[in-house]
Each structure stands twice: as structure tokens, then as C-alpha cells.
Amino acid sequence: MGKIIDKTITKIVTEEGISLFRRVTKVLMPNGKYRYPVDYFDATPGVVKVSKEEMNKVAIPVYKKLI
């Protein structure tokens, strides 16, 4: 979609001791404007990755699809 120009990663530690990383990516779009998408990921020791199947079991459906 766009060309990645730069990435900045900042470590954040909450009061509860949870370590998070904030990743800001600078993207040059085809129209010449810049976007700055931001995402966060967890870096706390002992965190276990949850598989897609387990996440679907835990997820609570909010809306039901009407046919």
C-alpha cells in the first residue's frame, strides 16, 4: 500500500509492572502524504501466546449475523 520510511519502538512499563512496546511506523502513501500507524505489543515475562482456536473459544459474540 505504501512505503515504510521509519519505525520507532518505545518501551512502556505500567504501574502494575506490565511491559509494553509502542511501535510507530512512518509510511509514505502513494498520494505523497504520510501515515503513522501505531500498535502495541506485550513483553511481560511469562506471557503465553494464545492460538487462534483458543481465542475463538474465549471470544464472546457480541452480534449475531442475521440471515
- What does the pLDDT profile of the chain (67 residues) look like in tens digits? 789 999 998 888 878 777 788 889 999 999 999 999 988 877 766 666 767 777 666 655 555 555 4
* Structural domain includes residue 29: yes
30/59 Cα distance (integer angstroms): 37
Does residue 56 sit in helix, strand or coil? helix
User: 55: part of which helix (H) or strand (E)?
Assistant: helix 52-58
Could you list the residue range(s) of the whole structural domain that residue 44 is in?
3-58
Domain assignment present for residue 7? The answer is yes
Place of cell 492460538: 51
Q: Is residue 66 part of a domain?
A: no
In the three-class reduction of DSSP (H, G, I as helix; E, B as strand; rest coil), residue 54 is classed as helix
Rounded Cα–Cα distance for residues 63 and 36 (Å): 31
> How many structural domains does the chain have?
1
30 assigned to some structural domain? yes
pLDDT score at 36: 92
- Is 67 inside any structural domain? no
Asked whether residue 65 is assigned to any structural domain, the reply reads no
Would 63 be classed as within a structural domain? no
